[in-house]
């Protein structure tokens, strides 16, 4: 049985003054013990949030492939662990696009995260042009095949895949539940012996209004939430929807 996993990605948002939102979210997580809840703030807040909210999984939004070295501006998985992180997101489409991250880089980052003891969320998802051409499944399964590390086979419970159609991220558009079920089923089918343990999350304009329906969709084990994770007022109902979907 896979527990529902609700993860917030604050992207480049949030200051010390935003930590009260994380505290309110932690309180809600405590009130909904049937779901796993995590928040990934900017690196600058990881340590403070991890200290303030010990019952939340606090994570990074990226990590380097290596432990240390001359990589100005980068943060290693080991450094994330050092400041209290429990997980890292890798391969978000914004990093694939703006930082030109290849599937190979994403795979190496995922290996580094697992090696350092972090859980990992590996993001995949197709652009609109690919969906419109009817090639979404081939494209996403290609990303899955090339972005997943071999180490996954030894630790499938520590790995989640986030299916995030790029055209749905931050746009207010969501994939239909039929599209989500079809893609999640295809991803699950590609996971071989890890299929029962790896959680597959949906991401892309998840809100309090659509969360219950999405989280009840077959093969959806949780959600990766951007905009709606910035405030407890929006994120807490999504956590509650996760628990509701776990109980059905
Ligand atoms: C994301 O950035 O991972 C995301 C899904 O964003 P949003 O929920 O804002 O679409």
Cα 167 to Cα 7: distance, rounded to the nearest angstrom: 20
| Mean pLDDT of the 66-74 span | 97
Give yes or no for a contact between 147 and 106, defined as CB atoms under 8 angstroms apart: yes
* For range 10-33, the mean pLDDT: 97
Question: Is the model's pLDDT at 14 over the cut of 90?
Answer: yes
pLDDT for 90 equals 98
| Nearest-angstrom CA–CA distance, 132 and 43 | 36
As a whole number of angstroms, the distance between CA 123 and CA 169 comes to 12
- Domain count within the chain: 1
- Distance (Å) from CA 69 to ligand 1 centroid: 31
Q: Which two tokens stand for residue 138?
A: 């081939």
CATH number for the domain including 217? Answer: 3.20.20.70
DSSP 31-80: H-TTEEEEEE--HHHHHHHHHH-TTSEEEES---SSSSSS-TT---HHHH
The mean predicted confidence, pLDDT, of the chain is 96
Per-residue pLDDT for 235 more than 80?
Answer: yes
In a domain, 165, yes or no: yes
Q: Is residue 75 part of a domain?
A: no
Please report which confidence band the pLDDT of residue 15 belongs to, taking 50, 70 and 90 as the band edges: very high
Select from 226, 228, 230, 231 the residue to mutate for testing ligand 1; criterion: most ligand atoms less than 8 Å from CB.
226
151 located within any domain: yes
* Interatomic CA distance for residues 50 and 48, integer angstroms: 6
Is 164 part of the annotated catalytic residue set?
Answer: yes
Q: Is residue 190 part of a domain?
A: yes
Domain hosting residue 47, numbered range: 4-67+82-246
Q: For the chain, give the percent of residues with pLDDT over 90.
A: 94
Residue 72 falls within a domain, yes or no? Answer: no
**Of all atoms in ligand 1, which is nearest to the CA of residue 229?**
8
Does residue 73 lie in a domain region? no
- Pairwise CA distance, residues 193 & 202, whole Å: 21
∠ Cα 98 142 218 (to 5°)? 100
Q: How confident is the model at residue 153 (pLDDT cuts 50, 70, 90)?
A: confident
Is residue 71 scored above 90 in pLDDT? yes
Whether 229 is covered by a domain: the verdict is: yes
In a domain, 225, yes or no: yes
3-state secondary structure of 116: helix
């Amino acid at each position: 049985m896979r527990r529902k996993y609700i993860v917030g990605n604050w992207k480049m948002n949030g200051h010390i003054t935003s930590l009260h939102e994380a505290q309110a979210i932690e309180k809600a997580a405590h009130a909904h013990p049937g779901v796993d809840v995590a928040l990934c703030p900017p690196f600058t807040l990881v340590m403070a949030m991890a200290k303030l909210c010990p019952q939340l999984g606090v994570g990074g939004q990226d990590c380097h492939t290596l432990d240390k070295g001359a990589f100005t501006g980068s943060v290693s998985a080991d450094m994330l662990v050092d400041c209290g992180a429990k997980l890292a997101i890798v391969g978000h489409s914004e990093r694939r696009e703006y930082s030109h991250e290849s599937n190979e880089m994403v795979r190496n980052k995922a290996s580094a995260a697992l090696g350092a003891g972090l859980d990992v969320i590996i993001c995949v998802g197709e652009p609109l042009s690919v969906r419109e051409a009817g090639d979404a499944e081939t494209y996403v399964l290609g990303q899955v095949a090339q972005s997943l590390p071999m180490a996954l086979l030894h630790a499938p419970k520590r790995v989640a895949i986030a299916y995030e159609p790029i055209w749905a991220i931050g746009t207010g558009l969501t994939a239909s539940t039929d599209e989500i079920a079809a893609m999640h089923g295809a991803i699950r089918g590609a996971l071989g012996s890890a299929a029962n343990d790896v959680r597959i999350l949906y991401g892309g304009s998840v809100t309090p209004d659509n969360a219950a329906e999405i989280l009840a969709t077959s093969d959806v084990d949780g959600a990766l939430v951007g905009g709606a994770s910035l405030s407890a007022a929006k994120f807490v109902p999504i956590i509650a929807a996760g628990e509701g979907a776990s109980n059905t």
